[in-house]
Amino acid sequence: MTRLLAAFPAMVALAGCSLAPTYIRPTPPVPSSWPVGDAYLRQSEAALPAVTYRDIFRDPRLQAIIDQALANNRDLRIAVANIESARAQYRIQRADLFPQLNATAGYSFRDGGSGTGTATGTGTGTGGTSGTGTGTGTGGTGTGSTVVTTSGARSTFQAQLGVTAFEIDLFGRVRSLTGAALSRYFAQEAAARATRLTLVGDVASAWLTYGADRSLLTVAEDTAKAAAQSVRLTDARRRGGVSPRTDVRQAEQILATAEADVAEQRTALAQDVNALQLLVGAPVDAALLPKGIEEAAQQIGELPAGIDSGVLLRRPDVVQAEYTLRATNAEIGAARAELFPRISLTGLVGFASTALRTLFSGGAFSYSVAPNASYPIFRAGAGRAGVDYSVAQRDVALATYERTIQTAFQEVSDALARRSTITDQLAANRRFYEAARDTLTLTNARYQGGIDTFLSSLDAQRQLYSAQRTLVSTQLVRATNLVTLYRTLGGDSLLDATGPAPVAVVPPQR
Q: Is residue 212 part of a domain?
A: yes
Q: What is the mean pLDDT of the chain?
A: 80
- Amino acid, res. 112: G
Whether 260 maps to a domain, the answer reads yes
Q: 447 pLDDT band (50/70/90 cuts)?
A: confident
Q: Name the β-bridge partners of 109.
A: 155
- Which region among 140-154, 175-189, 287-301 has the lowest average model confidence (pLDDT)? 140-154
Domain for residue 34, yes or no? yes
Asked if residue 447 belongs to a domain, the reply is yes
In whole angstroms, give the CA distance from residue 292 to residue 209.
9
**Please, where are the H alpha helices in 73-172?**
74-94
Q: Average pLDDT for residues 395-402, to the nearest whole number?
A: 94
In a domain, 486, yes or no: yes
Determine the average pLDDT of the residues in 336-349: 83
pLDDT band at 146 (very low <50, low <70, confident <90, very high): very low
Contact 466, 246 (CB under 8 A): no
So what's the pLDDT on residue 104?
84
3 state DSSP class of 424: helix
The answer to whether residue 131 is domain-embedded is no
Amino acid letter for position 487: R
pLDDT at 207 (0 to 100) = 97
Write out pLDDT tens, residues 53-66: 898 999 999 999 99
Nearest Cα neighbor of 143 from 128, 133, 151, 156 is 133
Rounded CA-CA distance 58/230 in Å is 42
Domain assignment of residue 489, given as a range = 2-108+156-495
pTM: 0.77
Q: Give per-residue pLDDT as tens, 280-310.
A: 999 999 999 999 999 999 999 887 655 667 7
Task: Give the separation between CA 236 and CA 244, rounded to whole angstroms.
Answer: 11
The mean pLDDT value for 327-342 works out to 89
In a domain, 387, yes or no: yes
- Domain presence at residue 271: yes
Check whether 383 has a pLDDT greater than 60.
Answer: yes
Number of domains forming the structure of the chain = 1
CATH number at residue 320: 1.20.1600.10
In this prediction, residue 72 has a pLDDT band, given cuts at 50, 70 and 90, of very high
